[in-house]
Structure 1
């Protein structure tokens, strides 16, 4: 819920400073908070599988694929940031969800396709994060800020990998320019499928386009006064800088963690590289890293789940506006905190959602394969296709012009990569399902 500014309020210059151009209370987001949200959303389960991914691809292809995904993610995120406002005079109207952005720029059946891709991916991500949390034995403590936790456990994994290599325990591992060796580590078919799945894991590691619009919606518009006129500067500039900071930060961590993890474990790198230090001292440091993972995933789960919650609750209010169970807010007085609004439908629906995602994660706890499939399925439509198509429509790029052609080539190339990664992940999941017995210890 938000307080909409009245006409009288907006006409009052002094009071107007308390509201944004859409009548909502003044946003307090900044470059720092937007960057923190991006780091929180991006660095999650994906970083844990990168050592394994590079082990499948090798010293040459592994870092190259990471760098390529990094560049594509940043480039398309700038296009998506420019699409935040609807076409119109001056700044245009705000769009609050990814589907709203697609509706305002493309319309038609593409809105439904976007919704299917976005919310399907968000559900998959929350399940993937639940799987990750379940394989890290720790008790979360939500007192700590979320974004530093992702940097903390990445740094711990990085430090332990460096220590393992420097201490000599990593000298007996085998690495190569092309990764796992056919006939020694894997069969020929396993090499191909695992390489495809590794690409999907890397794609998942960069999945944040699904929540970029929601993050940008929190960013404030910088304003400047020219005489007695307030000139707004679009928040897309803030978001582009935040994307650069966020993607650059995560890429540095990804390359360091992936490469040092591969150097430490070689071609036998585990799917979750922190589990490889299970019997490596100091034990307390590994436990602390697992705690950081749990803390971070609590925040990341919320970031990715909020659009799902908002979509279902908004549609339900539209369809059943007279239903008090769905629409009525109850004021509950909580000691110290004060009055807190409680909606019974929101409480029940969100609880059920968390339970269902946890059950699915328990039934199918396949870390690498699940992450790879989610990454492959979401990367092309949400990170590449829609941002490019909306940019073409927004800027009215002439068909068959040089810019139009190379954007289309990028789009089609990413489609092929996504299909290849999805095929590898499906094959990996099929192998896992054949030898797995749900709810039984191995």
Structure 2
């Protein structure tokens, strides 16, 4: 953004700081999302077992605790980055719940016969669904943050590239993979977004699959929400492994003679075999997951939190630093036409991120007015 800082150690430090804090924030978002999906399963089963006679509301605290416990166990696995099959499982889970959501949304939209709202969203002139114009603006800005979160793939781009083997060159593979990946992602996001709005109108939930819980076939919706949970169990670790490595490498350099930090113990588990355990790694990773779960439990606002995370990481990681690196790599002259266009793009995305962040913060403040920690039910 007009080269606010000279290229060098300061930018490297800033990029690392934003990236690592964004990874932690994403882990919080994943904890909220996973628990929300499991609450949707429980509500759906409750509603259908009681035939809608009783109110089915549940706290997501228990599911957050279960998710956190699973992540504590998974975080102790050494060489987690070598589990190549994890990406395949994640891709299958993503395809399953995205396809189910898309199919159910199309079915619901066809049953409706028409979109249950005007094309400009919630009416601000009157009626049961009326909102003030400013509230509508805040919600639009928060939605921009949700979109930014969905497209902030840059957080793991370097980790993916680091696992590639030559030939072909990493540059060729990454270009092809990025083009295909972003194209497929955009297709699903745009289609599901439009179909979800056609299906639910103003009542569209932040997590689309949680809105189908009272409809049949509810077992299919439960399966889709379980796919989300399974996907996020692995995705959580993918995002947190760089954070674990950062702290552990720093501590090892700081105290090179500490047995607590460096000593490894062999733990034999029946049917699994021998595992190397490290006391510091076990304690540190367990504390990290516990703290992350606690923060998620204190702020379980799906849309607002996801929007804030997206707004925080989108501009610096997906726009500003990549553009700065491209300008330096290609040696684009300042104030040339290409340089000006790139700066306009960067400034525009910066303003969008700022607006999305403000909208998401407003959403959090509004939610806090009606929220009791650890007691709110859904």
TM score, norm. by length of structure 2: 0.82
Q: Does 1:136 align with 2:37?
A: yes
- What root-mean-square deviation, in Å, do the aligned CA atoms of Structure 1 and Structure 2 show? 2.1
Partner of 1:272: 207
Q: Determine whether 1:213 maps to 2:213.
A: no
Query: Are 1:256 and 2:181 an aligned pair?
Result: no
The equivalent residue for 1:173 is: 116
Partner of 1:418: 353
| Residues 1:193 and 2:135 are matched in the alignment | no
Q: Does 1:341 align with 2:276?
A: yes
- Is the contact made by 2:312 and 2:353 (CA closer than 8 Å) also made in structure 1? yes
Q: Any idea what the Cα deviations from partners look like across 1:22-59, whole Å, max 9, x if unmatched?
A: xxxxxxxxxxxxxxxxxxxxxxxxxxxxxxxxxxxxxx
Quote the residue 1:309 is aligned against: 244
User: Is the 2:115–2:197 contact (alpha carbons within 8 Å) kept by the matching residues of 1?
Assistant: no
> What is residue 85 of structure 1 aligned with on the other side?
none
- Where do 5+ consecutive residues of structure 2 fail to align? 1-5, 42-62, 75-85
Residue 170 of structure 1 and its aligned partner are, at CA, apart by: 5.8
Deviation, structure 1 residue 195: 0.9
Name the structure 1 match of 2:315: 380
Give the match's secondary structure for 2:208.
Answer: coil
Number of the residue aligned with 1:150:
94
d(CA) in 1 for partners of 2:323, 2:314: 13
- How far the C-alpha of 1:172 sits from its partner, in A, is 6.8
- Kept after mapping to 1: 8 A contact 2:102/2:195: yes
Q: Is the 8 A contact 1:175 1:263 kept in 2?
A: no
| C-alpha distance in structure 2 between counterparts of 1:172 and 1:203, whole Å | 26
Q: Say which SS state the counterpart of residue 37 (structure 2) adopts.
A: coil
CA distance in 1, matches of 2:190, 2:285: 36
Secondary structure, aligned partner of 1:135: helix
Counterpart in 1 of 2:293? Answer: 358
Q: How far did 1:175 drift?
A: 3.6
Q: 1:109 corresponds to which residue?
A: 10
Q: Which has the higher contact order (CA 8 A, sep 6+)?
A: 2
1:396 corresponds to 2:331: yes
* Distance of 2:242 and 2:22 partners within structure 1: 11
Look up the SS of the partner of 1:145 in the other structure.
Answer: helix
Question: Is 1:170–1:264's contact at 8 Å kept on the other side of the alignment?
Answer: no
> Alignment partner of 1:126: what SS?
helix
Aligned residues: 326
TM-score scaled by length of structure 1: 0.70
Structure with greater helix share of residues = 2
Q: Give the SS at the match of 2:276.
A: strand
User: Which residue number in structure 1 is paired with residue 178 of structure 2?
Assistant: 243
Name the counterpart of 2:169.
234
Task: Give the whole-Å Cα distance in 2 for the aligned partners of 1:180 and 1:125.
Answer: 30
1:183–1:116 Cα change, 3 Å: farther
